[in-house]
Amino acid sequence: MNNSYEYRCVNYEEIHGLDEVVIEDFFSKIELFEGCKVLDHGCGYGFVTKQLLSRNKFEYCEFYLQDTSWFQIQRAQKDINFEMKYFLGNLKDIDFKDNFFDIIISKIVLQEMPFHRQKEEIEELIRILTARGQLYLWIWWIDDEVISFIRDFVKQKDLLTNLNSFLENRYLPSKRECLKLLKEISVDFEILVERNTNYSLLKQKKGDFKNDTSNFDKFFQWTNSKIEKLSNNQIQILDISREKKDIKFKMPQCLIKILKNEK
Ligand SMILES: C[S@@+](CC[C@H](N)C(=O)[O-])C[C@H]1O[C@@H](n2cnc3c(N)ncnc32)[C@H](O)[C@@H]1O
C-alpha cells in the first residue's frame, strides 16, 4: 500500500489547533546544550527543527531529520535554509549507532504505527540515545472515556480524504495505554507538559479535505450524529461546542521526557 504521507500536505499546527502559547509551553521544556546531536524523529516538514533553531543559542549543535516519507523530507528541505542531515526510512533500516543522539524529539509520530510497533519504536529511540541523553515524546494524550470516539472520528476523516495507508497503519493509543507502554519498557520518565489543543472541523476542511465541500459535509454530518450518542461526561471531557458550520473540541497533547540513565 502506498504511503499516504507521500501526498498529504497540511499544516499540523493549523489542523491540530496548536496556538503560540501552547507551542511555547512545549518548546520551553526542551533543553539543548552546546555541541549536542539532535534527532527530529518523524520530522514531517521540519517544524520541530525550525522551532529549535529559532530558539537555540548554541553554535555547534548538529541536527538530523528522519522520516519515512520522501515527500515530507522534501518539504523540510525546502523550508530549512541550513545544512542538515536527512534520513529517509524506518529507524530499524537506517540503523543509527547505539548511544548516538543526545536529544531526540518525536512529535506526533507514535500514532502513525500499529500498536505492536510502538513499543519497538520507543526502544529503538532509547537504543540510539546517549547514556545521559533525553528523549522527548510529544504525543496525543486522550482520555480512555473518549478514545473510541476520537479513533472513529480520525478513521472517518482518513476514509473520506483517501488517506488509505493511515487506515491500515495508524493506532492512536489512549493516555492509559501510553503509560502502560512506558512502564513495560521500564524507563524513567517525567510528564513535562499536558495541554489542550483546539480542534476545529472547519480547519480540517481546508486541511485534509482540501475544500472538498461534498465530503466535508458528509464528515460534518457523521460527526454530529456521533456526538448525539455521547454521554454528558464524554461531552464534558471533550468540551464540545457545536456551531452552525463548525464543531470544536479539545484534543490534549503531552510532552514526556524519557531518560536512558545507563550506568
Ligand atoms: C503527524 S506528522 C508529524 C510531523 C512532525 N513531527 C510535526 O509534528 O510537525 C507524522 C510524521 O511521521 C512520519 N512517520 C510515519 N511513520 C514513521 C516512522 N515509522 N518513522 C518515522 N517517521 C514516520 C510521517 O511521514 C509524518 O511526516
All three cell numbers of 5: 504521507
User: Kind of pairing, strands 247-259 and 129-140?
Assistant: antiparallel
Quick one: cell of 18? Answer: 496548536
Give the per-residue pLDDT at 263.
Answer: 56
Q: Mind listing the pLDDT tens digit of every residue in the chain (263 residues)?
A: 799 999 999 999 999 999 999 999 999 999 999 999 999 999 999 999 999 999 988 788 999 999 999 999 999 999 898 889 999 999 999 989 999 999 999 999 999 999 999 999 999 999 999 999 999 999 999 999 999 999 999 999 999 999 999 999 999 999 999 999 999 998 899 999 999 999 999 999 999 999 999 999 999 999 999 999 999 999 999 999 999 889 999 999 999 999 987 65
**What are 62's three cell numbers?**
548538529
> What are the start-end ranges of the H helices in 80-211?
91-94, 115-127, 144-160, 164-169, 175-185, 201-206
**How far from 83 is each of 40, 76, 78, CA to CA, in Å?**
14, 11, 11
pLDDT at 83: 82
Q: Which of 225, 230, 26, 260 is nearest to 128 (CA)?
A: 260
Quick one: which atom of ligand 1 is closest to the CA of 91?
A: 20
Residue of 109, 119, 254 with the most ligand 1 atoms within 8 Å of its CB, for mutation = 109
Question: Computed from CA positions of residues 145, 147, 148, 154, in that sequence, does the dihedral angle turn out positive or negative?
Answer: positive
Nearby residues of 65 by Cβ (< 8 Å), 6 or more positions away: 39, 40, 43, 46, 49, 73, 76, 84, 85, 86, 87
Please enumerate in sequence order all residues whose Cβ is within 8 A of that of 253, keeping only pairs 6 or more positions apart, or say none.
Answer: 16, 18, 22, 26, 108, 138, 139, 140, 141, 194, 195, 197
What was the pLDDT predicted at 228?
Answer: 96
Residue owning the nearest CA to atom 23 of ligand 1 = 42
Q: How many whole angstroms separate alpha carbon 185 and alpha carbon 189? A: 11
Model pTM above 0.85: yes
Specify the pLDDT at position 177: 98
- Cα torsion 17, 22, 27, 28 to 10°: value is 170
> Which of 66, 68, 80 most suits a substitution to test ligand 1, by most atoms within 8 Å of the C-beta?
68
Residue 56: what pLDDT? Answer: 85
- Residue list, ligand 1 pocket, CB within 6 Å: 5, 12, 41-44, 47-48, 66-69, 72, 90, 107-109, 112-113
Q: Which residue is closest in CA terms to ligand 1's atom 26? A: 44
Reading phi first (left if > 0) and then psi (alpha if -120 to 50, else beta), residue 163 is in beta
Answer whether 148's CB lies under 8 Å from 177's CB: no
Torsion of CA 74, 63, 195, 7, to 10 degrees: 10
Q: Which of 45, 112, 113, 165 to mutate to test ligand 1, by most ligand atoms within 8 A of the CB atom?
A: 112
Domains for the chain: give ranges and CATH numbers: 4-259 (3.40.50.150)
